[in-house]
Amino acid sequence: MGVREAGAGSRAAARRAGADVVRALRSRWRTATMAAGWSYPGDWPLAEVDEVCAAVLDTADPAAALYRLGGARAEAGAGLAETLLDLAALHAVLAEPPGSTGIVSPNVDAIPARMMRATALGWGDVLTDQAASCAADNPLTGLATGAYLRTRLREVYAEARTSGRQDHLLVLVSLDLTRTSGWSRVVAMTLLADALREVFDSGQTVASVGPSVAAVLVKKDVRLHRAVLNLRLLTADRLAVDPHVAPAGPVKVWLEPLPATYEEAIELITSLGR
C-alpha cells in the first residue's frame, strides 16, 4: 500500500471513529432526556442535535450550535422548560466520566450559565419573531401590541395628509409597577386593560406600549375628559380588590397630542415603552 493510500485510510478511520463518538454521545443524551420525561420522543432528533454533539466534543465554543438548537426546539413547539431539561440531560451526560454507562439525573440548576444563555436566547428569539409576525394582541392582557399601534398610527397620519388636519390624539395611561413584584405586575396590567376596554369600547385602538404603559388612539371628542375621569375611577376600583396590586395605583392618565410626523410619533411610543 502506498503512502497516499495509507494516509487516506487513516483519515477515513479517524472520521469513522469521530462519527462513532458523536453517535454514542447522541444516544446517551437521548436516553437521559427520555428518562427525564421528554413529551414527544419522535420530535427529539434534529440536525441541530448532531451539531451540538460535534461542537461539545470539539475544542470550539458550542454557544452557536446551542443557540441554533434552542431555536429549532422552539420551531418544533417545545416549551422553554422542556428545552432546558433536554440541555440539562446533555450537561449531565458530559459530566460523567468517559465510558460511563450509568443513569444520569438532569439538573437544570447545574447547567453552566453560558450554555443556558445561548440555548434560551435561541429559543426566545424564535418565539419573539413568531409573536411579532402573527399576534396583534397580548395574550395575557388582551391589549393590542405596540406593532399594531404603529400600523394604526401610519394609517392615521396618511388620513391626516389627505384631509389636511389631525383628528386623533393619544390617551396615555401608566401604573407604578415598582411597588409590586412578580405575578402581581401582570395582574395589575390585566386589570388596567379591562378598565380601558370598558371605557373605550367604540372601536378605539387600545394598546400596550411598555411593561407599565398603555395607550389609546382616539379621535378628538368633547366627551374625552369625562372618559378619562371614568377611567381613573374604574381603575382605582379594580386595583383596590387585590392588596397585592393596589400599590400600583393610582393610575396616571394624560392626553398627548400627536407629533407633527409619523416618525416622531414612533419615537414617542418607543420612549414610553422603555
Computed from CA positions of residues 98, 104, 106, 107, in that sequence, does the dihedral angle turn out positive or negative? Answer: negative
Determine the pLDDT at residue 100: 67
In this structure, the answer to whether residues 83 and 183 fall within a common structural domain is no
Q: Looking at 134, 155, 189, which one is the last position of a domain?
A: 134
Q: Looking at 103, 134, 165, which one is the last position of a domain?
A: 134
Q: What is the CATH number of the domain that holds 199?
A: 3.30.70.270
Considering the domain boundaries, does residue 185 fall inside one? yes
Determine the pLDDT at residue 237: 83
Determine the pLDDT at residue 12: 46
pLDDT, one tens digit per residue, over 49-76 is: 999 999 998 877 899 999 999 999 988 8
Quick one: pLDDT band at residue 199, thresholds 50, 70, 90? very high
Considering the domain boundaries, does residue 139 fall inside one? no
Q: Does pLDDT of 221 surpass 60? A: yes
pLDDT, one tens digit per residue, over 147-167 is: 889 999 999 999 999 999 999
How deeply is 20 buried, as exposed, middle or buried, from its count of CB atoms within 10 A (0-12, 13-18, 19+)? exposed
Q: Does pLDDT of 246 surpass 70? A: yes
Q: Does pLDDT of 184 surpass 70? A: yes
Quick one: pLDDT band at residue 13, thresholds 50, 70, 90? very low
Determine the pLDDT at residue 99: 63
Beta bridge partners of 205: 217
Q: Looking at 77, 111, 134, which one is the last position of a domain?
A: 134
Determine the pLDDT at residue 64: 95
Mean of the per-residue pLDDT values of the chain: 83
- Amino acid found at 210: G
Considering the domain boundaries, does residue 192 fall inside one? yes
In this structure, the answer to whether residues 126 and 64 fall within a common structural domain is yes
In this structure, the answer to whether residues 124 and 195 fall within a common structural domain is no
Average pLDDT for 215-219 = 93
Q: Does pLDDT of 170 surpass 90? A: yes
Determine the pLDDT at residue 26: 92
Average pLDDT for 187-203 = 87
Instruction: State yes or no: cis peptide before 250, omega within 30 of 0.
Output: yes
In this structure, the answer to whether residues 119 and 211 fall within a common structural domain is no
In this structure, the answer to whether residues 107 and 164 fall within a common structural domain is no
How deeply is 186 buried, as exposed, middle or buried, from its count of CB atoms within 10 A (0-12, 13-18, 19+)? middle
Neighbour-count burial for 96-129, b at 16+ CB within 10 Å, e otherwise: eeeeeeeebebeeeebeeebbebbbebbeebbee
In this structure, the answer to whether residues 124 and 194 fall within a common structural domain is no
**Sheet-wide strand order for 168-174:** 205-208, 213-219, 168-174, 252-257
Residue 147's alpha-carbon distances to 6, 176, 209, 259, in angstroms, are 62, 23, 9, 18
Total domains in the fold of the chain: 2
In this structure, the answer to whether residues 188 and 66 fall within a common structural domain is no
In this structure, the answer to whether residues 74 and 168 fall within a common structural domain is no
In this structure, the answer to whether residues 76 and 195 fall within a common structural domain is no
Range of the domain at 128: 3-134
